[in-house]
Amino acid sequence: MKYDEKAFSAIQTDTDAGKENEHMCGIVGYIGEKQAAPILLDGLSRLEYRGYDSAGLAVRDGDRDIEVVKAKGRLRKLAEKTDDGNAMIGCCGIGHTRWATHGEPSEINAHPHSSEKLVTDAPGVAGVHNGIIENYQELKDKLLRKGYTFYSQTDTEVAVKLVDYYYHKYQVGPIDALAKTMVRVRGSYALAVMFRDYPGEIWVARKDSPMIIGVREGESYVASDVPAILNYVRNVYYIGNMEMARLTAGDVHFYNIDGDEIFKEPVEITWDAQAAEKGGYEHFMMKEIHEQPKAVADTIRSVVKDAEGVPRIDLSEVGFTDEVIRDISQICIVACGSAWHVGMASQYVFEDLARIPVRVELASEFRYRKPLLDPNGLVVVISQSGETADSLAALREAKKNGIKTLAIVNVVGSSIAREADYVFYTLAGPEIAVATTKAYSTQLIASYLLAMHFGYVRGTLEDAPYVKMLEELQTIPDKISQILTEKERLQWFASKFANAHDIFFIGRGLDYAVSLEGSLKMKEISYIHSEAYAAGELKHGTISLIEDHILVIGVLTQDDLYEKTVSNMVECKARGAYLMGLTSYGHYVIEDTADFTVYIPKTDPHFAASLAVIPLQLLGYYTSLARGLDVDKPRNLAKSVTVE
């Protein structure tokens, strides 16, 4: 069977369902006649683009003990520690790059993790893992009662020790020990382990987290992602959900959860390595646009817990107590670029749901403005990278004034995350494209969750509407996926306007906030001048710029403001503008006014920006594509602005 791009995308989508944070980490394993460590390092380097904060290797020479080496920071440090892998002797090994989600980035938390050193000083079981073990605390407690001790904060150490526990307790083989572990563990995982008693073998298990196995004469490979092994092997097997495999040099056997052997056909990968890194997409931006349903779902799941069938927000990991929330007198949101646009949207949602006065400031202005802040206020800094110089300086300014600070950050262990009093981590995973998409979407979700929780605790949002809103929020990932299925219409529309000189985005309320983001997406990657205006402001100056054939995009998701924005669009049309309307299904009357209409699914109006932004991201992307520009690395821009 040949493997084409379309088929790959389909499989990717399928295997993406329900998986957790594994896309932030990388796994590589090798068994053959060559020295394993240099191959593992090379494979891991092909996954570097995903982002990571630490890495490690476990290698075995024949039936000698398993040797583990780990390093915090760049892969280069691990390479230095191991003399580019040459110092680790052995032809069988596993490697991992970790992107911390729980447990700080550190050498001790880096994978591989090892089972209890019960018998000798060397690990009985050593393993690497992508994903999240949701019930790891409960399993850890059980293992502590059984006499195990733990050295790291990770769920992976728990998983490895659970395998070790079943292996010894029932005196079974690796497949039975893995199967018993899989039955007990809740969550997602791609797990690769080596057993001291089984030299020259790697055992793997998978649920909801990608993992592939490549085999050629005398050699076997395992990896979380195709690019890691593409230079070595082209024939790969896809291990299914709740399946296990045993790898030996040049051979692999697959098993189902009952331990019965199952048979699979290999698939030949015909891609070049770079294409595979993008998961079949032409650009990281498009890949990241498609990762939004999962990123949003992960972020919701990180704080929404099921309490007897009813969803509830639990911000204990963020660090907020109800008392702190009740005492907050005002909120000041500080950020840059798209993160500031999230702040603009949050302002509407926070003030409406929690009835707390909110102001939104550009970090570059805030830091030099000597702002007046109430001692009981809260400064919220929003940042994907957690390293933006102005946002970091604003955070420090707030702290200097003794004001409580909350960071909404994507990168674990970043400066802003480390220095803020409270941290809400978005689970977008590494974002590579300069134009943010999935980080923006998860920041919006974080701000809705905070606003709802604050409203609930402060008594401005009652129980019934709170639960109803949470249930609706959980439908957002599917609604984003639904919008993405209609992207071709936007590609067609973008090609029509690819030579435009100016584009205007207008909206009111939350629609103005999302217009700001739509306009930035357009200008930063297509280099077309564009502006976002609060629709009511047009008459105060900007309407003089409207002339024949100019594109005006009206965003109309807020029912109470719909008629008002339609009127503003009509005024533009009267001056020759070409109108695109972006509204929710049901508002079909917009077609009487707009020349081209894009519909999004209906949702609670507070959450509409999460849906409306998707067509606008696609529009920016396709316009850049039609103009033949570098979508992922637009001129003059950097992903992280760490200098003023």
Binding residues for ligand M6R (CB under 6 A): 336-339, 383-385, 388, 391, 434-436, 520, 524, 640-641
Rounded to the nearest 10 degrees, the angle between the axes of helix 438-458 and helix 337-354 is: 20
Residue 7 vs residues 11, 13, 267: alpha-carbon distances, Å? 6, 10, 11
- Alpha-carbon distance of 223 to 211, in angstroms, equals 6
Helices (H), 185-311: 273-277, 284-290, 292-303
For 527, the token pair is: 């280099």
103 φ/ψ sector (left φ>0, alpha ψ -120 to 50, else beta): left
Q: Phi/psi class of residue 83: alpha, beta or left (left: φ > 0; alpha: ψ in -120 to 50)?
A: left
CB of 557 closer than 8 Å to CB of 530: no
Of 100 and 353, nearer to ligand M6R (C-beta) is: 100
- Closest to ligand M6R by CB, 105 vs 214, is 105
Q: Which helix (H) or strand (E) holds 255?
A: strand 251-255
Compute the least distance from the CB of residue 69 to ligand M6R, in Å.
32
Look up residue 32 and give its DSSP letter.
S
At its nearest, how many Å lie between ligand M6R and the CB of residue 437? 8
- Smallest gap from Cβ 425 to ligand M6R, in A, equals 13
Nearer to ligand M6R, 164 or 524 (CB): 524
Q: Which is nearer to ligand M6R, 32 or 337 (CB)?
A: 337
User: Which of the 8 DSSP states describes residue 553?
Assistant: E
43 or 337: whose CB is closer to ligand M6R?
A: 337
Closest CB 533 distance from ligand M6R, rounded Å? 19
What is the C-alpha separation between 502 and 514, in angstroms, rounded?
Answer: 18
> In this complex, which beta carbon is closest to ligand M6R, that of residue 57 or of residue 285?
285
Name the minimum Å distance from CB 178 to ligand M6R.
39
The encoded tokens of residue 340 equal 């500031």
Q: And the tokens for 242?
A: 């709740």
Q: CB of 409: closest distance to ligand M6R in angstroms? A: 8
Residue with structure tokens 């599917």? 478
| Active-site position among 77, 81, 564, 639 | 639
Integer-rounded Cα Rg, in Å, for the chain is 26
Shortest spacing between CB 24 and ligand M6R, in angstroms? 16
Closest approach, Cβ 397 to ligand M6R, in A, equals 16
Our CB check for ligand M6R shows the closer of 337 and 507 to be 337
DSSP-assigned letters across all residues of 130-175: EEEETTHHHHHHHHHHTT----SS-HHHHHHHHHHHHHHHTT--HH
Q: Which residue has the tokens 């502590």?
A: 144
For helices 136-145 and 155-169, angle between their N-to-C axes, nearest 10 degrees: 50
For the chain, how far is it from start to end, CA to CA, in angstroms? 53
- Sign, CA dihedral 82-86-87-91, equals positive
Interacting residues of 261 by C-beta distance below 8 A, sequence separation 6+: 253, 254, 255
Least distance (Å) between residue 637 CB and ligand M6R: 6
Rounded CA separation 31/17 (Å): 30
- Dihedral in degrees, nearest 10, Cα atoms 46, 50, 51, 56: -50
Pick 115 or 338: Cβ nearer ligand M6R:
338
Tokens 């400064």, located at residue:
379
Q: Nearer Cβ to ligand M6R, position 339 or 625?
A: 339
* CB closest to ligand M6R, residue no: 337
Beta-strand pair 378-383/331-335: parallel
Choosing from 25, 92, 332, 336, the catalytic residue is: 25
| Residue nearer to ligand M6R on the CB measure, 292 or 391 | 391
The angle subtended at Cα 307 by Cα 303 and Cα 313, nearest 5°, is 25
Helix (H) or strand (E) holding 382: strand 378-383
CA distance 249 to 239: 18
Residue 25 annotated to the active site: yes
Cβ 443 to ligand M6R shortest distance, Å:
8
Catalytic positions:
25, 639
